[in-house]
Amino acid sequence: MKVSFQTKRQLATEELRHAIRIGRYEPGQALRQNDVAADLGLSSTPVREAFSELTAAGLVNYEQHRGARVATMDVERIKQIYTARKIIETQTSKLAFEHITEAEVDELHLLAERMAVYAKAGRFEELVKVDEEFHLLIFAASRNEYLVAAVRNLWNSFPRYFMWNIGERIDEAVAEHRRMIELLYARDEAGFLATVSEHLDHSLETILSRIGEDGILDF
């Protein structure tokens, strides 16, 4: 019985985390337990547990008399997270460059083309999933599971997919993914790592440019 409860709690936590990360629930938005449970097709008890876990992770805030809300975007926190991401992701990408196979680069190419199709069609949910597959494939090529886990932990610490709601960033990001693939095929390590770094810089710039003084993203 305990195992079943843990499984439901973990499912609720991952579902709610995903919904926040992709912007289904926006910064500052109230999260009512029963409404979220119905929206995500879950029961209320594991959703309550998910609120607690994501409050500890910094994605949800709980205020007395106001209840749970999606955390707003603290600028300094976002900058620190991106600094950590840049260090870890560029170094993981460097290891990946050394070990990645041509078959894996071919797979990255297919994923990038799927991203382009989904971006053009406005299929946001699919775009988010394929983007994650793309980057995880690169990081997995590092052959270091601890680095991949560290990247995932940083990804889960804030709603990083809000920029996909911004049209110009979508086109720019798709072009950057294609550029990474070109540089991998060309075996241009310096160019590849520079593009990985620029990809993160441009994402951070996009987020910061849309955060108001109240910590709410402006689309």
Where along the chain do its domains lie? 2-70, 75-209
Instruction: Please name the helix (run of DSSP H) or strand (run of DSSP E) that holds residue 67, with its range, or none.
Output: strand 67-70
- Tens-place pLDDT, residues 18-62: 888 777 888 888 999 999 999 888 888 999 999 998 888 778 888
Q: How confident is the model at residue 5 (pLDDT cuts 50, 70, 90)?
A: very low
Q: Is the pLDDT of residue 168 over 80?
A: no
Task: Please provide the DSSP assignment of 39-66 as one string.
Answer: HHT--HHHHHHHHHHHHHHTSEEEETTT
**Span 89-115, pLDDT tens digits:** 999 999 999 999 999 999 999 999 999
Q: Which CATH architecture has domain 2-70?
A: Orthogonal Bundle (1.10)
Spatial distance between the Cα atoms of 98 and 75, rounded to a whole number of angstroms: 35
Average pLDDT over residues 168-180: 91
Of 196 and 120, the structure prediction assigns the larger pLDDT to 196
In CATH, the number for domain 75-209 is 1.20.120.530
pLDDT at 214: 66
What was the pLDDT predicted at 89?
Answer: 97
Asked if the model's pLDDT at residue 76 lies above 80, the reply is yes
Q: What is the predicted pLDDT for the residue at 6?
A: 53
Helix (H) or strand (E) holding 142: none
Amino acid at 54: L
Residue 147 pLDDT? 97
| Residue 189 reports pLDDT greater than 90 | yes
Taken in order 31, 36, 42, 45, is the CA torsion positive or negative? positive
pLDDT at 79 over 80: yes
Q: Where does the pLDDT of residue 173 fall: very low under 50, low under 70, confident under 90, or very high at 90 and above?
A: very high
Cα distances (Å, whole numbers) of residue 163 to 160, 171, 200, 202, 209: 7, 11, 12, 10, 10
Is a pLDDT exceeding 60 seen at residue 2? no
**C-alpha dihedral sign at 138, 177, 27, 47:** negative
